[in-house]
A = this chain, B = another copy of it.
Amino acid sequence: MKEIQKLYDRIIQRANINLRELEFDVNPYVQNVIPFEQMIKFYAFFGISPHHRLNFQFKNSNLAGSYFLGQCRITNSLLYKSDIRGDELKRAGDLFEYQGFEIPVSRDEEIEITDSLLIKTLVHNFSHDPETLEEFFIKDTISMNYANIHGAPSDGCFLGSFATVDLTTMRDSVIGNFAYVQAGEISHLDIAPGTVWVRVPGEFNFIYTHPQEELNHYIYFKAGIAPQGQLIDFVEDRKEAFQRVFDVVNIEQSIPVPSSASLDRYAVSKSPIHIGENVLVSQRAFLQNAWLGKGANAQENCYIINSRLEGCNVTAHGAKIIEADMGTNVFVGFNSFLKGGPDSRLTIGKDSIVMPHTIIDIKEPLEIPAGSLVWGMIKSAKDLKNHSISIEKFSKINGGLSMGNMFFEGDGASFIAGFQDRIHHILEANGAFFNGSDKKGHAQKNQYISFNTLQPYPEGPRKGLYPTIVIKP
């Protein structure tokens, strides 16, 4: 295991050099988080289908338990149970529009992960940085459990547990636990845990910060200890159910799935389950007593339990919905944790937007009216008042708004339009609007994926490292 230890040391050192101005040492965070022995225990896997570009290059890396789709190049990196989905990348010949510029994409974009350590991290989407159209790079970066790197190139960064960076190029920055950043371009920032920040320079700026002490009950992680809290417990409690899914080569589909929908063979589904037309359930999603109406989706690391989604619902990467009824077109953002109970169901009316990284954890029934924008931490009807507003009202903001820990400045209509466009795009990409012949998306394309497994050297100095692997059409 000499080589893998050297590689690990090298990655840590490179991240630390990048983060020296922030006086941030990644060492104590990553110590003992993954024992090396775990890194040889799980196979990596990749998908092949006629509907996805194919270009994998793996070199001098450990890929334990990680999944790859599309176009990915991994070099000198340790990827532990991460999902690298290169299936929404830009293609050669595309025109990338940016502030009046139309920039041609010269070659197919690739996700390029170099000298990085990603733990249970989701990497997806395309990079929105006009400076680097063909390379969605992740370099000298360390990300912890359940982080999302979503269309966000990264150089020299540390992402805490359940952190999400979305459509943002980041350099030499630290993103705290459960922080969400969508800010275009950032550099040398140390984002506090529980921050939810959405900014389009010149248009608007939305910022919310979870109360630190309350957040610690859900996710707490600092130097020297492993991530802990309710979110970690929740996921760990359901870990075993995934075991069987990964242990067998071919799994039998026990649930009826319409021909326009797809239920990934690496998802867990516990009856009763209803899968409607055009539904997409991604790998590592967990469904238990769940009703998914037409065009609803459950993305990677989502949990939908004792809940009903009426249709065209987006459940973004890492979102959890428990004991809830969601109207049509409800959007639930990344890593949100919406937890009702058997006697305290959560109801969210149609067309509502639940901001990324929202926590709703209620002991009494709660009804959120249709067309709401919801954020922050909500434990009661009282909290809801301070952490929601009607989308209509929000659209009329021109100037600023402050509610509790939330500050907004700029154009409310632009903020809402941005979200709605994006939700529409997500539904479209996922195949929610498929009409039997046109508008195919992931739900239709993912039905025809075959899976392949890879394992590392089981012994010798390269133990734990994978050989060089190149896969092309």
Residues of A in contact with B (beta carbons under 8 Å apart): 43, 48-51, 54, 246-250, 448-463, 467-473
Contacts and interface: CB of A to CB of B under 8 A. Distances in A.
A327 B169 CA distance: 72
B467 A470 contact: no
Contact of A462 (B50, B463, B468): B50
B467 A473 contact: yes
Nearest to A247: B249
Tell me whether chain A's interface is mostly helix, strand or loop, or mixed: loop
Contacts of A50: 457-463
Question: Nearest 8 CB-CB pairs, A to B?
Answer: A50-B460, A450-B455, A448-B459, A470-B470, A450-B458, A453-B453, A468-B472, A448-B458
A249 B455 CA distance: 11
A455 B448 contact: no
Contacts of A471: 467-470
Contacts of A461: 50
Contacts of A470: 468-471
A453 to B, nearest CB: 5
A104 to B, nearest CB: 28
Nearest to A470: B470
Q: Which of A250, A449, A452, A456 has the most C-beta atoms of chain B within 10 angstroms of its own C-beta?
A: A452
- Number of identical protomers: 2
A409 B449 CA distance: 60
A192 to B, nearest CB: 42
25 contacts: A43-B249, A43-B452, A48-B456, A49-B457, A50-B459, A50-B461, A50-B462, A50-B463, A51-B459, A247-B248, A248-B248, A249-B249, A249-B453, A448-B458, A448-B460, A450-B456, A451-B455, A452-B453, A452-B454, A453-B453, A467-B472, A467-B473, A468-B472, A469-B470, A470-B471
A248 B453 CA distance: 12
Contacts of A250: 247
A99 to B, nearest CB: 38
A467 B459 CA distance: 28
Contacts of A248: 247-249
A48 B468 contact: no
Contacts of A451: 455
A250 B43 CA distance: 10
A467 B48 contact: yes
Nearest to A462: B50
A238 B66 CA distance: 35
A170 to B, nearest CB: 33
Q: Which of A51, A54, A463, A471 has the most C-beta atoms of chain B within 10 angstroms of its own C-beta?
A: A471
A48 B455 contact: yes
A173 B302 CA distance: 60
Contacts of A246: 249
B54 A467 contact: yes
A458 B249 contact: no
Contacts of A454: 452
Contacts of A460: 49-51, 448
Contacts of A459: 49-51, 448
Nearest to A451: B455
A450 B453 CA distance: 11
A50 B467 CA distance: 10
Given A248-B249, A453-B453, A456-B450, A469 B467 contact: no
A289 to B, nearest CB: 28
A363 to B, nearest CB: 42
Nearest to A44: B452
Q: Which of A51, A459, A463 has the most C-beta atoms of chain B within 10 angstroms of its own C-beta?
A: A459
Contacts of A472: 467-468
Contacts of A468: 470-473
